[in-house]
Amino acid sequence: MAFVSGLNQLLLKVNKLALESISEKYPALHPEVNPFDLYRVHIAEVLSPITGVAPEKIQPVIQWTNTLDKGDFVLPIPALRIKGAKPDALGAEWAAKFPQDDPLFEKPVAQGPFLSFFAKGAPLSQSIIPMIRELGPQYGRNRFLGLKDPKDPTKGKKRIIVEFSSPNIAKPFHAGHLRSTIIGSFLANLYEGAGWDVVRINYLGDWGKQYGLLALAYEKYGDEDALKKDPIDHLFRLYVRINAEKEDDLAAIEAKKKEGQDVTDLLANSLDEQARRYFRKMTDHDESALALWKRFRDLSIVRYRATYARLNIKFDEYSGESQVSEDSMEKVAKEMADKGITREDQGAVLVDFTELLPGKEGKRLGKTVIRKRDGTALYLTRDIAELLGRYEKYKFDQMIYVVASQQDLHLQQLFKIIELLGYKDVAQRCQHINFGLVMGMSTRKGTVKFLDDILRDCADHMHEVMRKNETKYSQVEDPEGTADTLGISSVMTQDMSGKRGNNYTFDLAVMTSFEGDTGPYLQYAHTRLSSIKRRANVTDEELANADLSLLTEPHAVNVVRMLAQWPDVAQNTLRTLEPTTVVTYLFRLTHVISSSYDQLQVVGSDPDVKAARMALYDAALIVVGNCMRLLGLSPLER
């Protein structure tokens, strides 16, 4: 591997370090997938004799920077906890003693209690560019992070379950589901890139009395052709219609009751009661009732799969409320009663955390009903049974629920009940990743939002934007397909641009613009790099043998410095679990690339310079594409 031999030679000149000894001395570092790990080791090893601090203590506190003007690495001197010395004075002293002729770094710059390190351009370019081109789609991925034992890969990968999207059948795929879908898919991709065994679960809202109501609606108004063509839309229309009738029905009965009439028979034959009876048939395993319900569910999943495919999203399992058996819920209910977690209150069964837990925690979690007076188990009972069943099935190391912040309390109660049941180890493996609201999301035809409607609106809008530039529009091979990809990119990028806990306003005009930090801008950045590669017409052999020492311009070095950060950014995102960590880096990278074009002309340059610059932009194309795919975007070539 050209990269390993090149960088190893540099390290051998300085401190006799080889890759094998690095992995022994610094087990958390993996230079073969993250080149900056070598740079960190080098700083630690060079500084150790200067500072009198062991290199193993220096390395963990070395930070990478967010802006290139602050260097590539920063050492916060107070973090070394050296007694009796002022950090400012130490910084100046250490900077002066750092070797003038270091092969990897310029002289460090002391800035108060910080020591800033700037990587030398030539060795960085000559190691990073070949590494990126060699690793290709693997650059930025770190297979070691997901190993159960990094020292022994034969022990296998850690397993994580990501539950996300989870729409309700026959109800709108609303903004909350959209955010869960985008963020959940991103997190699944992130953990997969970190070497985990990822199981993606879609926990559908597919059970309950509303399915009895839906079945009644289908018997009265169902249209076989409409169901096959668009099951989600047809079932929703039926549900809205029958629900309105049910409300009118109950209002009429209530009016007669106020007039003093006997409404016993009317209530017994009301739509609400008919729906309850139908759902009872489902829970009693009536074959015809279950067959119709299963048909609704299966057809809806087929349609959802097609929509998810447009977003590059796949699921390993379509689970749902219906998959949690009555037996498992009964078992959980009995266990909770036996352990004194639940108590009866006027016929209902509840968990009173104020009695179970002392102080603020009990007050914060409050009381929650587990089973209603009529014996109906509520969501929490089902979720407890499902969580424990999942652990039995998958033996996961971690499970993430990607659900809106309105469900914070529900999930806190769920995890605490699991702990109180005696499964603290399982509860500690579970995490709620929450997110804020999307404001002002409505279709052109009204306020109800299905995912398909959202994507269609964005694609139509992008198509209109594209048509404004007739010259470029005429060069696009598949305008509708391109508009669709751009539309999806605009929705997803806007969603991931801010911190996920923040609310944001759904603004078609802003998010579909090619100006500013938008999805279409990212696609433009990728297509421009692709276009340069096509027009340059440099062979892979010429790129592999390019003389990278010719990349001396500050703009070229800055692009390489940004490209070298990507593995660190990906790894840091595992800590933040924020899509914006990647989005922010990607915009910074594309801005640095964009500002370099005027200084680093490829087509028309001297052949050797052309090959070197094209190798740089080829590496940039790979990294921009890798970032976009992690976010769930489909990079366009033209």
Which residues are catalytic, by number? 171, 174, 177
Q: In this structure, what are the phi and psi dihedrals at residue 62, rounded to the nearest 5 degrees?
A: -70, 125
Q: What are phi and psi of 578, to 5 degrees?
A: -115, 120
How big, in percent rounded to 5, are the helix, strand and coil portions of the chain? 60, 10, 30
Say which amino acid occupies 488. Answer: I
Q: Which residue bears the tokens 């999930």?
A: 411
Asked if 488 and 311 count as a contact pair (C-beta separation under 8 A), the reply is yes
Q: Of 263, 269, 216, nearest to 239 (Cα)? A: 216
Q: Measured between alpha carbons, how far is 146 from 197 in angstroms, rounded to an integer?
A: 8
204 in Cβ contact with 168 (< 8 Å): yes
End-to-end CA distance of the chain: 32
Separation between Cα atoms, residue 273 and residue 240, nearest integer Å: 17
Instruction: Judge whether 133 and 564 are in contact, CB under 8 Å.
Output: no
List C-alpha distances in Å: 579 to 90, 129, 499: 38, 26, 8
Question: Which residues, 6+ apart, have CB-to-CB distance to 608 below 8 Å?
Answer: 546, 547, 550
Sheet holding 73-76, edge to edge: 63-64, 73-76, 114-117, 109-111
Cα distances (angstroms) measured from residue 608 to each of 308, 363, 555, 597, 602: 45, 71, 18, 17, 10
